[in-house]
Structure 1
Amino acid sequence: MPIDAAKALAAEPRTGALSWDHKDVQLYHLGIGAGSPATDPDELRYTLESRLHVLPSFATVAGAGKPGVTGGLSMPGIEVDLARVLHGGQSLVIHRPIPATGSATATNRIAAVYDKGKAAVLVLRTEVADPDGPLWTNDAQIFIRGEGGWGGDRGPSALPHSRLRSSGGTPTEPPSGEPGRTVERPTREDQALLYRLSGDWNPLHADPEFAKVAGFERPILHGLCTYGITLKAVVDTLLGGDVTRVRSYATRFAGVVYPGETLRIRMWHTPESTRVAVSAVERDDAPVLADTIVEHT
């Protein structure tokens, strides 16, 4: 069996060093569409090193994306075909603001393995700290087609919100009523090619032939790119551009985005959190991100 759940869960955590500087942060911000208009003061805080603020979703690529989704698939007990892998969801908890230049230690482990029958779901957890203490905790939920059916724990019927999705709890209900704000964010045809320079080299996002083998008509945009675009929209639209107000951010990847499409981002805002739904405008509002919530001050 390609997945040995007991071995994966019992494996010793892997610890490694991460480092980044302002160039990494700026490249990530450009990869999620920052910098347009280029001279807009609100955009310069994402692109100009003298006034740089770090969007919290940068945590998903800090240190060139180590270990990242593909890196996590090399953990003990895990041996799968990359063409069967989809990123199912992502949770991020920010313990304090991320500096524009930093060095830290990342501890990575398999936090959960679920048997969904026709697929397996892995929860890859990364905890990052520097000498001053914890910085962030990332959970990536990885959906692997054709790797279920060994009789293991099915896990929750839907990955829950709360501070970390894999911690259990009750899934949130879909937003109801009209959103308080709706914005549209276009993506570029070369968006995935730019975003992958931050560390996610999965050929699904660049190689047409690989994309066809994986069942897609052409390369798709990284789910984490859409994740970053969406958080930036929430911060800029509802939080006054203040990245330090974000406490946690969780989503489920409900559908693909093809580079060049426009994202419609609907927001239901309260003082402590914002519920979000994202769809692809050109495909009759096909869902892209669902069960999405940003917790903030």
Structure 2
Amino acid sequence: MPLDPDAVGATSGPRRSAWNRKDCILYALGVGAGPDELAFTTENTKGVEQQVLPTMPVVLSTDPGIFKRFGTFDWAKLVHAEQGVEVVRPLPPEGAVLTTTRIADMFDKGKAALVVTESESVDENSAELLFRTRTALFIGGAGGWGGDRGPSTSWSAPDRRPDHTVSYETRPDQALLYRLSGDRNPLHSDPAFARRAGFERPILHGLCTYGFTGRALLHALAGGDSAGMRTMDARFASPVLPGDVLHVDIWRTGEDQAYFQTRKDDGTVVLTNGVCTLNG
């Protein structure tokens, strides 16, 4: 059968995810952190307490079991459309969470569908809420049941120069580093697989671009303190190739809020509809 609209509200989990100091460092290196960010890339620097990047929950949260509740669809036509994260309190460098994921919405786009999942992750021992994530998945060929098309967005980049532009050059082997945090999709490592998918070579994980962008926001808006960022939401707009330079444009829109987008050297926007909120 096709996608099941009645599955909205279905849940999966709780699923246990654990991490240690090495995992946090691998994630930080995978999203481009380096020797000028030792709080994220080392665990034993004198006078520096190890921190965890606030985007790391995206590799710890979603329970893959939720996909079984969608109904049937062609996995080759599934595209990561949007990602959000809310860090309720900074992650410790070592810990474990129990994550429950639910299908929050399912929208009929005609020839395609948009499925939205939301996850909550609580500390395994204290049951304290640590973070939430929101994921939107675009599935080609899965629409047409006559359902709600979903809300339209009112986001637009402010009509002025960005308050900050942070530029990072990704490494030629960036995807090979990032995949060590868990996403082993061969689209990001196998040249033959990437060509079959229509790309000249393996592309960068969308969530890696998301992590690069999160670092830019963290340093530009929160002084590099992981406790300063509360939420980060964005829409994936275009693929990135390892080695591309990323430019993150940031506009302050309030005391505790900013809009952002990420673009490549040629002006192609790769992340859009960006909203970041800070802890006051």
Cα distance between partner residues in 1 of 2:13 and 2:211: 26
Q: Which residue of 2 is the match for residue 165 of structure 1?
A: none
Cα distance between partner residues in 2 of 1:133 and 1:73: 23
Cα distance between partner residues in 2 of 1:12 and 1:276: 32
Which of 220, 223, 239 is the matching residue for 2:206?
223
Instruction: Please tell me whether the aligned partners of residues 275 and 294 of structure 1 are also in contact (alpha carbons under 8 angstroms).
Output: yes
Alignment partner of 1:126 is 2:119: yes
Closer, same or farther: CA 142–209 of 1 in aligned 2, 3 Å: same
Q: Which residue of 2 is the match for residue 101 of structure 1?
A: 94
Alignment partner of 1:76 is 2:72: no
Q: 1:23 corresponds to which letter in structure 2?
A: K
Q: Which residue of 1 is the match for residue 217 of structure 2?
A: 234
Q: Which residue of 2 is the match for residue 276 of structure 1?
A: 260
Q: Which residue of 1 is the match for residue 39 of structure 2?
A: 45
Cα distance between partner residues in 2 of 1:184 and 1:110: 35
Deviation string 1:102-150 (CA, Å, 9 cap, x unpaired) is 1111001211111111211111211101115111110111111121112
Q: 1:151 corresponds to which letter in structure 2?
A: G
Cα distance between partner residues in 1 of 2:174 and 2:206: 12
Cα distance between partner residues in 1 of 2:161 and 2:84: 25
5+ residue gaps, structure 1, are 159-170
Instruction: Please tell me whether the aligned partners of residues 119 and 132 of structure 2 are also in contact (alpha carbons under 8 angstroms).
Output: yes
Local SS of the residue matching 2:155: coil
Cα distance between partner residues in 1 of 2:197 and 2:135: 20
Closer, same or farther: CA 272–34 of 1 in aligned 2, 3 Å: same
Deviation at 1:263, TM superposition (A): 0.3
Deviation string 1:12-51 (CA, Å, 9 cap, x unpaired) is 432111211111111000000111xx2x3xx111111132
TM-score for both structures, normalised by structure 1: 0.86
Alignment partner of 1:111 is 2:104: yes
Deviation string 1:46-75 (CA, Å, 9 cap, x unpaired) is 11113211111000112xx653xxx26632
Name the % identity: 43
Cα distance between partner residues in 2 of 1:119 and 1:156: 15
Q: 1:56 corresponds to which letter in structure 2?
A: P
Deviation string 1:226-253 (CA, Å, 9 cap, x unpaired) is 1111111111123211110111110011
Local SS of the residue matching 1:75: helix
Local SS of the residue matching 1:74: helix
Deviation at 1:176, TM superposition (A): 1.9
5+ residue gaps, structure 2, are none
Cα distance between partner residues in 2 of 1:72 and 1:289: 27
Q: Which residue of 2 is the match for residue 167 of structure 1?
A: none
Cα distance between partner residues in 1 of 2:256 and 2:216: 17
Q: 1:288 corresponds to which letter in structure 2?
A: V
Alignment partner of 1:288 is 2:267: no
Cα distance between partner residues in 1 of 2:66 and 2:191: 23
Q: Which residue of 2 is the match for residue 193 of structure 1?
A: 176
Closer, same or farther: CA 264–77 of 1 in aligned 2, 3 Å: closer
Q: 2:95 corresponds to which letter in structure 1?
A: G
